């Protein structure tokens, strides 16, 4: 479930339990109803589980210079496609291998399919005659903090995440 700030900017993905608590305590409003019409019931109350909720009061988010590099965020940045052949990515590869001084950073890591990752091993791209399909840049924008922690996106969230999230 997606949590939006009072200004409709994405904050984080929530568990159903936390979202229901925010709704019941009147700290959040439903922005988009859930598609499956799931309900959480108690003796006195039944709450439909929404897909997107918004806080009633603005929450200041501390500024962080860089988006943390996680497997999920890297896969989203590369569109779940192998940086070498364009196939479906399943692993992460270091362009300059760590055994040769490469770092574990946005500028050196790519999404990769298992066959390409195995073929490349600890070799440099120049040794294989390979080229990258994209340029390696760290992502920017508020929605990337959410993508860094979420493996799968609900399609209804895309309209709230802004351009570049799909």
Q: What is the total count of domains within the chain?
A: 2
Domain contains 98:
yes
Check whether residue 54 and residue 76 sit in a common domain.
no
Q: Can you give the pLDDT at residue 57? A: 96
Check whether residue 9 and residue 59 sit in a common domain.
yes
Q: Do 93 and 110 form a contact (C-beta atoms < 8 A)?
A: yes
Domain contains 54:
yes
Q: Can you give the pLDDT at residue 162? A: 65
Check whether residue 79 and residue 110 sit in a common domain.
yes
Write out the residue range of the structural domain in which residue 49 sits.
2-64+151-161
Q: Can you give the pLDDT at residue 12? A: 82
Q: Give the integer Cα–Cα distance in Å for 24 and 44.
A: 12
3-state secondary structure 125-137: HHHHCCCCCCCCC
E strand map for 16-79: 28-32, 39-41, 46-48, 52-55
Q: Can you give the pLDDT at residue 146? A: 67
Domain contains 141:
no
Check whether residue 40 and residue 84 sit in a common domain.
no
Listed in sequence order, the residues at least 6 apart from 113 whose beta carbon sits closer than 8 Å to its beta carbon are 82, 84, 85, 87, 88, 89, 90, 91
Domain contains 112:
yes
CA distances from 136 to 14, 35, 110 (A): 30, 36, 8
Structure-token pair, residue 114:
């298992």
Domain contains 136:
no
Q: Can you give the pLDDT at residue 34? A: 72
Q: Give the integer Cα–Cα distance in Å for 75 and 83.
A: 10
Length of the chain: 166
Check whether residue 6 and residue 47 sit in a common domain.
yes
Domain contains 21:
yes
The pTM for the full model equals 0.63
Give pLDDT tens digits along the chain (166 positions): 888 999 988 888 888 889 889 998 999 999 988 766 677 777 788 778 888 999 999 998 776 667 788 888 899 889 999 999 999 999 999 999 999 999 999 999 999 999 999 999 999 999 999 999 988 988 877 666 666 666 666 777 777 776 545 4
Q: Can you give the pLDDT at residue 105? A: 93
Check whether residue 82 and residue 104 sit in a common domain.
yes
């Amino acid at each position: 479930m997606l949590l939006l700030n009072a200004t409709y900017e994405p904050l984080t993905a929530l568990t159903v339990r936390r979202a229901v608590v925010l709704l019941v305590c009147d700290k959040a409003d439903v922005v988009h109803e859930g598609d499956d019409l799931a309900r959480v019931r108690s003796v006195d109350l039944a709450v439909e589980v929404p897909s997107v909720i918004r806080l009633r009061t603005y929450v200041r988010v501390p500024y962080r210079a860089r988006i943390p590099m996680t497997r999920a965020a890297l896969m989203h940045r590369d569109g779940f496609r192998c940086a070498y052949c364009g196939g479906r990515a399943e692993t992460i590869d270091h362009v300059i291998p760590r055994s040769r001084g490469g770092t574990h950073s946005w500028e050196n890591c790519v999404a990769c399919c298992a066959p390409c990752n195995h073929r490349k091993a600890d070799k440099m791209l120049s040794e294989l005659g390979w080229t990258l399909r994209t340029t390696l840049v760290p992502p920017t924008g508020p929605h990337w903090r959410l993508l860094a922690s979420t493996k799968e996106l609900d399609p209804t969230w895309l309209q709230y995440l802004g351009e570049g999230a799909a």
